[in-house]
Structure 1
Amino acid sequence: MKILVIEDERKLARFIKQGLEQHGHVADLTHSGSEGLEHLAGGLYDLVLLDLMLPGQTGFEVLQNLRAFGLTVPVMILSALSEPEKVVQGLDLGAVDYLRKPFDFGELLARIRVLQRRTTTSDAVDLEVADLNMRLVLHEVWKAGTLLELTNREFALLELLMRRAGQLVTRNEIAEKVWSADYDMGSNVIEVHVYQLRKKLDAVGKTGLIETLVGRGYRLKKE
């Protein structure tokens, strides 16, 4: 999953980001409500982890603005505010879960997995294209019966291509879904990652699954 963390306590924010990335997620950090909203307006995220006591505008105000802007990304609140009325207020404003600080990181990961299962249809828990099988919850990719070792970025890139199998996926779409909101479009990092992913896919089973459409983007063959 691509996750945006909105947390003003920088040490905690870095800890959360590191832990998420160690478990296969892609994470961006912001430290205020307005900064978080700017990231959400400019990029695609699967989940937001939101503190409530933020500078400028509170997490409650962020939730209100998200819905006012028509953004439906799931939000999980991480907050030291434990009063029942605060929990109810956050959930009523559209948050899908509320985890009180301090929290066990294993519990956070478990709640993210639950959310991932809720928001993914039963038919799409595993993605299958050609001889590729992606197990989203387990964060595994198998090709022709062989488990592939992919980086987090490679996994996210392949997931995007598999979900859009047979269709053009542009560089802009890849940048928005797989990279940070401040990604430099003049960089060749996407090409490098596609090259590395292609090498790993071509080493087992069917070859040539990833097509380059020059000047346009990439496409994963269905067969």
Structure 2
Amino acid sequence: MRVLLTASADTTRHYMQKALTESLNSVESTDDLFYALHLALNEDFDAIVICRQSEEDLGTLFDVLGDLRRLASAPAIVIALGRATPAECAQLLRAGADACYVQPYSVLEIHERIHALRRNAAYGSEVRTGAPRLDPMTREAVEGELRIPLTTREFLLIECLLRRANAPVGREQLTRYAWPERDDVEPSSVNLVVSRLRSKLKAAGARFRIDTVNRYGYQLSTT
């Protein structure tokens, strides 16, 4: 999944980003809630996780929840708070949040709740295109009875391509998705992962393939 994380406290943001990334998510993070709103208005995310420590931040949350709730991509919106009363959590849920947690909360529970919220959403292009699916529990690409083990980069790169199966995906978009924590990824790094993936797919006998789109990027082809 592609997750937008915004947390006002550095320690919380770094911890949550590490935990979500280790669970095979592409995580874009910021400490600024309004910049997060700007990103959400201009890019698609599967989930938005908002972490706030102080009660003073609640007013700001109400200001942006309405805009987030109206996003066309309909991301799951999960809020994790340092302190809040049950009444305040109920208000946030009525304002547009899908889930609200108060410390002490579990990152694992938050991650599983996001998956539950997305389970019935229009996520996973394999349903519509006959493309393979990805199993985050085993870190494998699955095509029928065939299961292909992947590295974290390979998993994220295929996930990004799957979002537009049988259509070109730009190299810059692939780079941001598969290397969200880095701003200096060389084109050769992308080429290396794609080359390694092609070898794995061929050796496993997969029907889908990754084609090069000259001067643009790559395409996951299922036909």
The equivalent residue for 2:169 is 169
* Aligned CA distance change for structure 1 residues 90 and 168 (closer, same or farther; 3 Å): same
Distance in 1 between the 2:71 and 2:203 partners? 45
Q: In the aligned structure 1, how far is the partner of 2:123 from the partner of 2:40?
A: 24
- 5 Å-filtered alignment, 1:83-98, equals 83-98=85-100
> What residue number does 1:33 align with?
33
- Give the direction of change, closer, same or farther, for the CA distance of 1:5–1:165 in structure 2 (3 Å limit): closer
SS in 1 for 2:119: helix
| Structure 2 counterpart of 1:46, one-letter code | D
Q: Partner of 2:159 in structure 1? A: 159
Q: Distance in 2 between matches of 1:209 and 1:101?
A: 45
Amino acid at match of 2:216: R
Matched ranges for 1:128-143 at <5 A: 128-129=130-131, 132-135=132-135, 139-142=139-142
Which runs of structure 2 are paired with 1:37-186 in the superposition (5 Å)?
37-53=37-53, 58-67=60-69, 72-120=74-122, 128-129=130-131, 132-135=132-135, 139-142=139-142, 145-175=145-175, 177-180=177-180, 183=183
Task: State whether residues 139 and 149 of structure 2, in contact with CA within 8 Å, keep that contact through their aligned partners in structure 1.
Answer: no
8 Å CA contact 2:208–2:222 kept in 1: the answer is no
Which digits, 9 at most, give the CA deviation of each residue in 1:179-210, with x for residues without a partner?
53984687544333322322322221047811
Secondary structure of the corresponding residue to residue 27 of structure 1: strand
C-alpha distance after superposition, 1:120-139 (max 9, x if no partner): 4699579843xx44336765
Residue 64 of structure 1: how far off its partner (Å): 3.5
Letter in structure 2 aligned against 1:20 = L
Q: Counterparts of 1:12 and 1:162 in 2: how far apart (Å)?
A: 31
2:198 is aligned with what amino acid? Answer: R
Report how far residue 211 of structure 1 moved: 1.0
Which range is displaced more, 63-72 or 36-45?
A: 63-72
Given that residues 49 and 79 in structure 2 are in contact (C-alpha distance below 8 angstroms), is that contact kept between their aligned partners in structure 1? yes
Aligned Cα RMSD in Å?
Answer: 3.5
Say whether the 8 Å CA contact 1:76–1:97 is kept in structure 2. Answer: yes
Give the Cα–Cα distance (whole angstroms) in 1 for the partners of residues 201 and 40 of structure 2.
32
Q: Which moved more, 1:65-74 or 1:148-157?
A: 65-74
Moved more, 61-70 or 37-46: 61-70
Q: Is structure 2 residue 2 aligned with structure 1 residue 2? A: yes
* Count of residues paired in the alignment: 221
Counterpart code for 1:113: H
- The percentage of aligned residue pairs carrying the same residue is 24
Structure 2: 5+ residue stretches without partners: none
| Structure-2 change in CA distance of 1:90 and 1:181 (3 Å) | farther
TM-score, normalization: structure 2? Answer: 0.78
Gaps of at least 5 residues in structure 1 are none
